[in-house]
Structure 1
Amino acid sequence: MKLLRIFSLLAMPFVMAQQSTRFIYQATLTPDSTNTEKKTELAYLDTDGKKSFFYAENTLKRDSVMERMRATRNFDRSQMENLRSNLQFTIEKDLANQSLVYKSRIGRDQYSYNESPTFNWKILPETVKIGEYETQKAETKFAGRTWYAWFTQQIPLQDGPYKFSGLPGLIVKVQDSDGDYSFDLMQTKKIAEIQQPQTRGQYINIQKSKYADLEKKMRKDPASFISAQRSGGGGGGRGPAGGGGGNRPGMDPKQMQEMQKRMETEMKSRNNPIELK
């Protein structure tokens, strides 16, 4: 309780003087349980103190490449290959209400769901200096994993990477107990304004449970799932069978086969999601 009082006193001048800030995290992930090789990439948490966006650095880079290709009318997809990310989502948080909107793509369609996750943080006595910040340890259980976070009151912002928030200070580091996922603050810098990944087309807003069901179907049989989306029967938001895509312009058989093969390989390598339930 004492920590929360300290935060409330510090937070007011911070929010009043708040400029847009980018917190750059290194994400270390093990998306494939059959391959212990860690994947690392950078992710951005952009905030103005009232709302924030969390997304992969490569997402912003891909947007920039796409803009350039549209301007030059030179659509060379090979330029995008090195910009693939294991963080294929954007999370927009309303910090005042501790609510968020999760956006991602499943197959050919874009989906979103609203969530107000509850983090029952247990603040522990352990403290440690991480970089330039004095931090304190906290623990919570979320989506089937036990998580440990280190937060700092030197940045009195109730936010952090991924969906994490609600501690009396910015989360500098958070990792799960199995070491499969961790996010570590690497750099902080001021930015002119909050950036958010470009939106191409509409998002289909559905319940989180429905989103999880669609992900399971996609993992189990990507080819059938995408085929159903193309005919309007495989998604979660529109169409007579809940399909999100409706009838789409045809893709030649070779392209379709290549896409299905790529999807199947990708799904097999994403068998250890950050949320287990």
Structure 2
Amino acid sequence: MKQKVLIFFVLFLMVASYGQTTRYIYETSVNPDSINLVSMKIEKTFLDIKGNRSLFVSENKLKKDSLLNSFRSEIKENNRKGDKDFPKQEGKRHIEPTFFEYFVSKNIPEQKVYYYEKAAGKQIYYQEDRPLKWEITQTVEKQNGYPAQKAVVNFGGRSWTAWFTKDIAISDGPYKFSGLPGLIVKLEDDKGDFKFDLVKKIQIKDAFEEPIHADAKQSTRTNFHGDKAALELESNKNRKSMAGNNGGENMGFNREGRHGGGMRGGGHPGGGMRGGMGGNHQDSPVQQNQGAEHFSFGSGSIQNPIELK
């Protein structure tokens, strides 16, 4: 009897752990100005790991996507009921801007990295084609509470210093960085523009999900910006055409709801890792304009990309 109870307990733990996501939370400091050193902006970024997959996404992005999609769901429900009034909001909701308007998924064992954005409401992605050539040094220090070893690499036009710990045997880290014999607990570039510090580890039972859609546009790293611009240009042409057909109504709205942070199984490239909270139903542009009035996305523009080339 005791043996049966033990077996049941072990199986229960296996099932429970399989359904959970481990979230590593990084305090991320960013210099928003690529020319001048100004006050660093700080936001939290998440590295969610489930099985052999991981997802990198920012907290501010998740909050923004959640609020926007909640509002759009209310609009959709009102339309279903025949109520043409827009949902009443308690004041204008302020949403902090994020420097990470995308998410990155990885197949950890195979060291495959996928970068995802949305353009004109459509998903677009590419597989990173530049392997990281780490130089692991013999320098060992305690970083963010962990015994860590120093490694350096040149990537995206910046020189990066990483500190990884073998105490967490996961070959991964924030953004596109991975491939070291342990988890990256600290990462910064030589220009002082970006810094990631691991501050916390938690378990998430129910990660938010957004499946990668069948019509997602697959691109390459070198063609990505051109393909993204083409999608946006096509969308603008369609919007102008719709505006003409509807008597010149104001149809312009830059859709801000995009990805988020969750995971899901599947055979898509990047395998099983999904963004979360961001729906992909198409609201009418008029509805989108009305919804946008209730949200403030913070001030300032993103001038300093994490990759310079």
Do they fold alike, i.e. is TM over 0.5?
A: yes
Provide structure 2 residue ranges, at least 5 long, that are not aligned to the other structure.
1-16, 76-86, 256-297
Equivalent residue, structure 1, for 2:302: 270
CA distance in 2, matches of 1:275, 1:129: 28
Alpha-carbon distance between aligned partners in 2 of 1:158 and 1:53, rounded to the nearest angstrom: 13
Is the Cα contact below 8 Å between 2:63 and 2:95 reproduced in 1?
no
**CA offsets, 1:128-184, max 9 Å, x none?**
112321111100011111100000011000000000000000000111111111111
1:104-253 aligned at under 5 Å gives the runs 104-106=117-119, 109-196=122-209, 202-213=215-226, 226-231=232-237, 249-250=242-243
Does residue 256 (structure 1) correspond to residue 258 (structure 2)? The answer is no
For residues 31 and 196 of structure 1, what CA distance do their matches in structure 2 show?
29
**Match for 1:89 among 90, 98, 102?**
102
Shift in CA distance, 195/68, structure 1 to aligned 2, threshold 3 Å: closer
What are structure 1's unaligned runs of at least 5 residues?
1-16, 219-224, 233-245, 260-265
Tell which deviates more after alignment, 22-31 or 187-196. Answer: 187-196
Larger Rg: 2
Between the aligned partners of 1:164 and 1:116, the Cα distance in structure 2 is 13
Q: Give the aligned residue type for 1:270.
A: I
Q: Distance in 2 between matches of 1:248 and 1:50?
A: 45
Residues 62-101 of structure 1 correspond to what in structure 2 (within 5 A)?
62-73=64-75, 74=87, 81-101=94-114
| Greater mean alpha carbon deviation, residues 195-204 or residues 177-186 | 195-204
Q: What amino acid sits opposite 2:61 in the alignment? A: T
Contact 1:21 1:194 in 2 (8 A): no
Give the superposition deviation at 1:49.
Answer: 3.6
Relative to 1, partners in 2 of residues 1:145 and 1:213: Cα closer, same or farther, differing over 3 Å?
farther
Matched residue SS, 1:139: strand
Report the AA paired with residue 252 of structure 2.
M
On the 8 A contact 1:22/1:188 being kept in 2, the answer is: yes
Partner of 1:44: 46
Which amino acid in structure 1 is aligned with residue 147 of structure 2? Answer: E
Residue 240 of structure 2 contacts residue 251 of structure 2 at CA under 8 Å; is this kept in 1?
no
**1:222 is matched with which residue?**
none
Three-state SS of the structure 1 residue aligned to 2:99 is coil
More moved, 158-167 vs 173-182? 173-182
- For the residue of structure 2 that corresponds to 1:119, the secondary structure is coil
CA distance in 1, matches of 2:196, 2:91: 29
CA distance in 2, matches of 1:23, 1:100: 18
1:255 is displaced (CA, Å) by 6.0
Name the CA shift for 1:136/1:253 in 2 (closer, same or farther; >3 Å). Answer: farther
Q: Does the 8 A contact of 2:60 with 2:97 survive in 1?
A: yes
Give the TM-score of the pair, scaled to structure 2.
0.65
Q: Is the 8 A contact 1:63 1:197 kept in 2?
A: no
CA RMSD of aligned residues (A): 3.5
Give 1 or 2: higher helix fraction: 1
What secondary structure is seen at the aligned counterpart in 1 of 2:187? strand
Any conservation in 1 of the 2:219–2:227 contact (CA below 8 Å)?
A: no
Given the superposition, is the C-alpha separation of residues 147 and 133 from structure 1 closer, same or farther in structure 2, using an over 3 Å criterion? Answer: same
Aligned residues between the structures: 235
Report percent identity of matched pairs: 32
- Tell me if structure 2 keeps the 8 A contact 1:150–1:173: yes
Name the stretch that deviates more: 27-36 or 50-59.
27-36
Distance 1:85 1:253, change over 3 A: farther
